[in-house]
Amino acid sequence: MKYNRSAGILLHPTSLPGPDGIGDIGPEAYRWVNFIKSTGATLWQVLPLGPTGYGDSPYQCFSAFAGNPYLVNPSLLMDEDLLNGADLADRPKFADSYVDFGSVINWKVTILQRAYHNFIQLKPAKLVIEYETFKHEEAEWLDDFALFMAIKESYGGASWEKWSDGLRKRYPESLAEFQVKHADQIDSHKFRQFLFFRQWLTLKKYANENGVTIIGDIPIFVSQDSSDAWANPELFFFDKDLKPTVVAGVPPDYFSKTGQLWGNPLYNWKIHKKTGYAWWLKRIKATLRFFDIIRLDHFRGFAGYWEVPAGNLTAEIGRWVPGPGVPFFQAIKDELGDLPIIAEDLGEITPDVFELRDKFELPGMKICQFAFGGDPEEPFLPHNYPVNCVAYSGTHDNDTALGWYKTAPEKERDFCRRYLGRDGKNISWDIIRVVWSSVASTVLAPLQDFLSLGGEARMNFPGHASGNWSWRVTTDKINTELMQKIQEINYLYNRSTLKYEEKAD
């Protein structure tokens, strides 16, 4: 898919301001959409919105179809009388510049349960009808997900690999018995999804009506500890006891000397092909309800992926295995028509990956932060960008521009200064400017780079199991001065929706 000359900002909803310890999809998200619109930008990129599990990573979710209930906003629930002032009276005092996931999750679960209790007690007629409709329309994935979460809770959060054989292997009599005993608990998880879908889809509608397009991720793999793997074991390489025989990762590269051992179960693509890729088509259609454009994470895995024997401690030992390739994307195109997909084509890339990307005219990614370790032929340098690409100052997996510059080898720093024709004192904006001035049709930068923040604001460090995803912006940082700076650079490089006379003073 090709895009017009445009610009946007990368910011996950958890990083927004708000009083509940984590950014969410309430009033601050609407103010954020207004901010993007006021800059003349048209794109808001977020990370996956699924329910997070181990390590709080949005790339390791309990479901490929569900939403993250921790993003549900309490004040919007108050507007519908699902919560009242008393329900929020014991709100803890949270930090406003980072997410303390442990305390936040306890709080969000508490208020979601209060909202569910109030819903059951009050039975508001309009919401009851909406909820019943939601359960019916989403039953194909929702029933398995809610059951999965309820069983998981009954086992103290343990992975489904540690459940009893009857529940792990989905014996009908075991599942039926559990469903009878835990009906309310199962229903409460369905209700949380109802609230998330309702709030997110309303926000997305508002964004679209205000000219803001939302880009979101599909992680190529699902988590081992997910309702997807539990409910569809035939789609993965599991042994007779439902243990993975091989798992996902990437070999050593510039992110990690020992590779990245992700541990996700790998797809049995032969089975997927026999079904016409039915599960994947459902997944992509479901994701396109959340987002307007999908960034397909680890795109190279669709051409070929790194297979690591289960039980290995690192990803150093493995083998490359052919992915689903052209037939997979052709099936998606036959179903959807134009493909609203960005190919995340980073890492150690082979020619077949580019061939697959270009056959379907998918824009790849260019990361300016990677540009300064080589020579003028380096493809990440802005003068080498093609038009049909999405260029970034950096992504959620990189350090911030300033953090990178402070820690990069002096040879790279020197090349960077010479290339930019700057002294490096305002490196974040210097990099943004050269990306924005390129021919790339689409450009984005994390909010951290617009704010010229250092490594303390880094969102994720690949290969580090903890300490990620917690950065938040404070309300005072999203201000008129920043809006005008972004507005100006969007205007200067013909990436703005605003006419000159519409710009703010």
The catalytic residue positions are 297, 344, 397
- Give the count of alpha carbons within 13 A of 321, CB side only: 18
On whether the CB atoms of residues 405 and 393 are closer than 8 A, the answer is: no
Taking each helix axis as running N to C, give the angle between helix 101-122 and helix 183-209, from 0 to 180 degrees, rounded to the nearest 10: 100
Query: From CA 339, how far away is CA 350, in angstroms rounded?
Result: 22
Nearest to 232 by CA among 191, 184, 265: 265
Query: Cβ of 410: how many Cβ atoms within 10 Å?
Result: 7
Query: From CA 276, how far away is CA 329, in angstroms rounded?
Result: 11
DSSP lists the bridge partners of residue 33 as none
Per 3-state DSSP, the chain is made up of helix, strand and coil in percentages (nearest 5) of 50, 10, 40
Q: Check residue 61 and report its DSSP letter.
A: B
Query: From CA 426, how far away is CA 446, in angstroms rounded?
Result: 16
Q: Residue 269 is encoded by which pair of tokens?
A: 């693509």
On whether the CB atoms of residues 469 and 99 are closer than 8 A, the answer is: yes
Residue that the structure tokens 């959620």 belong to:
396
Residue that the structure tokens 């070929």 belong to:
304
Query: From CA 148, how far away is CA 145, in angstroms rounded?
Result: 5
Query: From CA 239, how far away is CA 241, in angstroms rounded?
Result: 5
| SS3 category, 322 | strand
